[in-house]
Amino acid sequence: MKSHIGSIKQWVSIFLSIVVIGLFFLKAVPGYSADKNPAGVTGFTYSITFPDNQVKKDLGYFKLKMEPGKNQQISIALSNPGTEKVTIDVKLNGAKTNQNGVIEYGESTIKNDPSVQFDFTDIVTGPESVELAPGETKNLDLTIQMPETSYDGVIAGGIQLMRADQNGTTSNEGGSKIINQYAYVIGVVLQESEKAIAPDLKLNSVKAGQSNYRNAIFVNYSNVMAAYLDNMTVEVQITEKGKETVLYERKQTAMRMAPNSFIDFPVSMNGERMVAGDYVANILVTSGDKKWKWTKDFNISDKDANKFNERDVGLVQEKGLDWKLIALIVVGILALIILIFVIIRIRNKKKQEKELALKKERKKKKQQGSSNGKSSKKKD
């Protein structure tokens, strides 16, 4: 059990070893002395050159109004004020929604929602890296190729800029070693019209799983419209089917969803063992005066329950008797008893043989002594 938990904690540490800090509105990393390094912990700085079709100039990110089929180039000036060459990795990412209801514009393992009509990474393209010599400033040029088909709403994504081969700064938290790596993330929002469309939600699934290696129920639903959903509140209650007692529940406020994205909302099982059976999830999502309410039946199989219970680092595993091990121990003990018995028998036998030999030798000496005495008397 200890080795199992140790291996899981090792994987958690590896997973936490890369922490990307996206600065959506800021142009510098706070809390770092410019006197030591004018480029901060990233090793470089950037500035945005807004084109004429920028909706607002003071946003700190790109929000462009474009026409169907239009091709446009946008530029970001990258500067290296240091004394060493810097290589900057460039990654383009569509906007996603994580489990906490936070929109991610940086690199993410979250997949695209099926409702995505136009993938941000197909529309915006550019180089994978940029090299800057000491003191050099160079433009990162990105190309936007709008779809030929017109659409309402927005297409959202981000441009992630991170120095290659970062060593990072090390910190120890909760017994885990964390290596912090830093990046700039610049948002990009593309639209073709000022027409506002309302977000809409669709429930996808409710199923058992694990959050941070602990048992949980995941409610998966999508924002199927090309619009942001702000100020979202989610309330979930889990009951056993046919019963009213609430087994698990969670409520979270002030959440957001990106356009055409899904959220995997976890409801913790509070450290309890997962039990196979039929359950019901009652789900309520609100945003302002908008409301979505679902009731969803779901099942936890014996296979899934056993699998997740074995992986839950918070559970004390209740293992049954290992009869093979018990049989091996019994056989070992019997073999040891037999060995001891044989050794004792051999030693006793040798001891008896030795005593018998001594008796024979004494008897022989006694007989010899008697015969010698008779011989001396005759001579006299």
The span from the CA of 338 to the CA of 71, in Å, is 89
For residues 72 and 49, is the Cβ–Cβ distance under 8 A?
Answer: no
Q: Pick 373 or 104 by higher pLDDT.
A: 104
By CB neighbour count within 10 A (0-12 exposed, 13-18 middle, 19+ buried), where does 238 fall?
buried
Average pLDDT value over all residues in the chain: 84
Nearest alpha carbon to residue 269 among 296, 243, 249: 249
Task: State pLDDT tens for residues 267-277.
Answer: 999 999 999 99
pLDDT at 131: 96
Mean pLDDT, rounded, for 227-248? 97
Q: What are phi and psi of 352, to 5 degrees?
A: -65, -45
Burial code (b: 16+ CB inside 10 Å, e: under 16) for 52-83 equals: eebeeeeeebbbbebeeeeebebebebbbbee
Task: State pLDDT tens for residues 332-346.
Answer: 898 889 989 888 888
Distances (CA, A) of 294 to 98, 160, 280: 21, 37, 10
Give the pLDDT band of residue 287 (cuts 50, 70, 90). Answer: very high
Nearest alpha carbon to residue 201 among 220, 174, 188: 220
Judge whether residue 5 has pLDDT over 80: no
Give the pLDDT band of residue 296 (cuts 50, 70, 90). Answer: very high
Number of H helices, E strands in the chain: 4, 21
Mean pLDDT, rounded, for 229-239? 98
User: pTM of the entire structure?
Assistant: 0.72
Q: Hey, what are 290's tokens?
A: 């908008």
pLDDT at 341: 82
Give the pLDDT band of residue 370 (cuts 50, 70, 90). Answer: low
Judge whether residue 348 has pLDDT over 90: no
Percent of the chain residues topping a pLDDT of 90: 63
Most trustworthy range by pLDDT among 164-168, 180-184, 307-311:
307-311
Judge whether residue 140 has pLDDT over 50: yes
Q: What is the CA radius of gyration of the chain?
A: 38
Task: State pLDDT tens for residues 74-127.
Answer: 999 999 999 999 999 999 999 999 999 999 999 999 999 999 999 999 999 999
Mean pLDDT, rounded, for 232-254? 97
pLDDT at 360: 75
For residues 61 and 186, is the Cβ–Cβ distance under 8 A?
Answer: yes
Give the pLDDT band of residue 23 (cuts 50, 70, 90). Answer: very low
- Cα–Cα–Cα angle for 162, 163, 168, rounded to 5 degrees: 100
Residue type, 126: G
pLDDT at 34: 35
Judge whether residue 9 has pLDDT over 60: no
* CB atoms inside a 10 Å sphere around CB 163: 21
Name the pairing type of β-strands 184-191 and 62-65: parallel
